[in-house]
Structure 1
């Protein structure tokens, strides 16, 4: 099953990759559990798109009072939630005040449970 790992971190425009994340990426690319992932630009570069009443509204970021942003993401393949949580716990984004949210994918074409 696939899981989306959202890396939530302080919004710091000059943040960059660390040796810890590069090692985590190498390890999980090598074992096949990491499908893809990228760092994201700071909140000031984000745009929100909404269509209301037939009109497209584009709003510049940041959008909330929060000082945290989604700083990056990874898509991982794991046999179950426990394995995905273990992979997330190894992610350097979960250390030192950061958070990694684990979101299971909803398989395309499946029906939500009643």
Structure 2
């Protein structure tokens, strides 16, 4: 099953010592569990789009109500949720004040689960 891991970072960048991200990427690329992953641009470059009364409304970031930002993402392949959670727990983004959210994909009709 595929999972989206959102790497949520606190707005305070110093999280103390964390494992090496390059090592995590190398290991999970090698074992085939990491399908795709990227860092994201800072919150100031983010735009929100909402459609109201049929018209798109675009809001520039950063968003003042935000205490955290999504710093990156990884798409992983894992046989079950427990394995996906174990992979997320190894991710440096989950250490020292950061969080990794694990979102299971909702397969489209006819696609393998």
TM-score by length of structure 1 reads 0.85
TM-score by length of structure 2 reads 0.86
Q: How far off is 1:61 after superposition?
A: 1.0
5+ residue gaps, structure 1, are none
| C-alpha RMSD over aligned residues | 1.8
Q: How far off is 1:67 after superposition?
A: 2.6
Counterpart-to-counterpart distance in 2, 1:50 and 1:64? 17
Q: How far off is 1:53 after superposition?
A: 1.0
Q: How far off is 1:19 after superposition?
A: 7.3
Q: How far off is 1:12 after superposition?
A: 6.5
User: 1:84 — aligned with what?
Assistant: 84
**Aligned residues between the structures:** 106
5+ residue gaps, structure 2, are none
Alpha carbons 1:7, 1:94 under 8 Å: kept: yes
Alpha carbons 1:46, 1:62 under 8 Å: kept: yes
Counterpart-to-counterpart distance in 2, 1:60 and 1:12? 21
Counterpart-to-counterpart distance in 2, 1:22 and 1:73? 14
Counterpart-to-counterpart distance in 1, 2:27 and 2:36? 13
